[in-house]
Amino acid sequence: MREFRPFTDELRPLAVESWATDPDDAGEGFTVEFLLTLPAPVSDDIDEVLRTCAAPLLERLGFDAGSLDVDVEDRNAVAWADDDTWPDCVTDCGASVVSLRIGRDPNEPYELVPEGGPLTDDEVMELRATMDSLLGLVLVLNTDVVGLETAQAREVVRERAEHLRLRLVGPRAPESGIRLVEAPPGEGTLQFSVAVVLGDEDPEQPAAVAAAMTAAQEALGSRGWEPVSTLASRSGPCLTSGWQPSGPPLAGIARMRLFAAKGWAMSELAEQHRPCAGADD
């Protein structure tokens, strides 16, 4: 899925769907499905129309155009990745099958193509941000602040968030989001959660996750972080480490805890009511 994300910009689909592979199936991982419209020649020859439409896309995706199987009666066609050429039955960009149907969604032949044009620039950016937040490496900082008014506490946390942003994603990235979590009545503690998405880092590489954790600890500038430990989830491990001052709160900060994991894993842990509930921001 990470390899296929750039095609969102290039292909400008009408719609995108993704889902996890069924545990009972032979494969593993995730499937991404793009629904596209292709320019078609004016012709009554169904075979010609489908082959002409498909040729540029098949070439771009690394398919053999000659493998396109056309059904003139049903006005559709399908091409599968060549398992003799591609050992895993997928092309080098991750595509495995291209299905076409004239005037209809190939997978929903009784439904018209969705109204509206291809995704706009803003919609593409929103889609990429969503995919990054699920597939990319996400770092979450949870902070407990005491003895300060809400506005003051926000500024203290925002300063830490800015340190994380500059260290982990650079000055051109947008400001980190900060969410105020309501503390239980009477405790006098304000709780904040900051999520930073590192879309260019591979969360499947343990070294990348560990490096992000180390960089975050250094960016926050406080010594005495506890040793990094691991939380387990179905989508992968989540590294975590905590800090609290040895004496009075430091600038109002009574406790900080960092989490680093794939976005999907972070979401699963949040659903399990783990402490990294701010990961879905």
DSSP 250: B
**Cβ proximity of 8 and 128 under 8 Å:** yes
Alpha-carbon distance 210 to 139, whole Å?
11
Q: How far apart are CA 60 and CA 133, in angstroms?
A: 27
CA distance 160 to 141: 9
d(CA 244, CA 163): 18
Angle at 73 between CA 67 and CA 75, to 5 degrees: 65
Sign of CA dihedral 239, 154, 192, 138: negative
Q: Kind of pairing, strands 108-112 and 137-146?
A: unpaired
pLDDT for the residue numbered 258: 94
- Contact in structure between 194 and 153 (CB atoms under 8 Å): no
Angle at 126 between CA 123 and CA 127, to 5 degrees: 85
Q: How much is the pLDDT for 242?
A: 95
Give, in order, the Cα–Cα distances in Å from 200 to each of 160, 161, 196. Answer: 22, 19, 12
What pLDDT score was predicted for residue 29? 63
d(CA 223, CA 210): 17
Q: Radius of gyration over alpha carbons of the chain, in Å?
A: 24
Distance CA 234, CA 172 (A): 33
Per-residue pLDDT of the chain (281 residues; tens, 9 = 90+): 555 667 777 777 777 777 766 666 655 666 778 888 888 888 889 999 999 988 998 888 888 888 899 998 888 899 887 766 555 555 656 678 889 888 777 766 555 555 455 556 666 666 666 666 666 788 889 999 998 888 898 899 889 888 888 888 776 555 544 555 655 545 678 888 888 888 677 888 899 999 999 999 999 986 889 999 999 887 788 999 999 998 898 889 999 999 999 887 887 777 664 444 443 33
In terms of Cα–Cα distance, which of 281, 21, 267, 1 is closest to 141?
281
Largest CA distance in the chain: 82
Question: What secondary structure does DSSP assign to 205-248, as a single string?
Answer: -HHHHHHHHHHHHHHHT-S-PPPPEEE--TT--EEEEEE--SSS
Its pTM stands at: 0.58
How far is it, in rounded angstroms, from Cα 142 to Cα 101?
50
Q: State residue 183's pLDDT score.
A: 56
Q: What are the start-end ranges of the H helices in the chain?
A: 6-11, 46-61, 121-135, 150-168, 206-220, 263-271
